[in-house]
A and B are shown apart, each in its own frame.
Chain A
Amino acid sequence: DQQVKQNSPSLSVQEGRISILNCDYTNSMFDYFLWYKKYPAEGPTFLISISSIKDKNEDGRFTVFLNKSAKHLSLHIVPSQPGDSAVYFCAASAYNFNKFYFGSGTKLNVKP
């Protein structure tokens, strides 16, 4: 049962433009949502998170938006840079953080 879904396996964006990565979830018990970035041959790296009591969280070029009624979140990267090229995973958890559910990832390619 895939409780967190990333329906776009890949995304290609021009350098300097906005990258929008999407994620949907099915479990309304999730309280916390996270985005991870993964380069080849490395483990995922935490990028940004958002609590279910908020609808937006911003950190530099990265902003995560949460739409609880639609069970949808998105990661915006502005402006996109070639170094942002990686696989991005969306993840969700309840507040006890006992278990995390990950999406299947979106491979972002930022073209110079």
Chain B
Amino acid sequence: DTGVSQDPRHKITKRGQNVTFRCDPISEHNRLYWYRQTLGQGPEFLTYFQNEAQLEKSRLLSDRFSAERPKGSFSTLEIQRTEQGDSAMYLCASSAQAVSWSEQYFGPGTRLTVT
């Protein structure tokens, strides 16, 4: 399977704990996006990388959130001091200019529950 993978698929944590999610994009996809989706809503853009450079960040990405893509391949999204409002599905997507920047391929998501 050469699609976008995310790990873990589910995470339950207590308020105040730190969590880290991983996304492995499709090989050779230059762009990688992170989204957050809550119940009844569409994905909300958080941030995106072109190769290893983080080029755009949403206002939704507070100081407690940090994302990295150190070698331009996989990416991590860390949430520090989690709050109940962070409970959501975190989606990762990747795209490549060779196909079209517009055609994003999404992973299955990481569902975070903060208790």
Contact = CB atoms under 8 A, between A and B. Distances in A.
Nearest to A90: B42
Interface stretch (B12-20, B64-72, B101-109): B101-109
Given A102-B43, A102-B44, A104-B42, A46 B55 contact: no
Interface of B is mostly: strand
Chain B residues touching A, range: 20 to 34
A43 B42 contact: no
Contacts of B102: 32, 34, 49, 93, 97
Contact of A98 (B55, B103, B109): B55
Interface of B: 4, 31, 33, 35, 40-45, 48, 55-56, 58, 91, 93, 95, 101-109
Most chain A CB inside 10 Å of its own CB: which residue of B31, B42, B45: B42
Given A97-B101, A99-B56, A43 B106 contact: yes
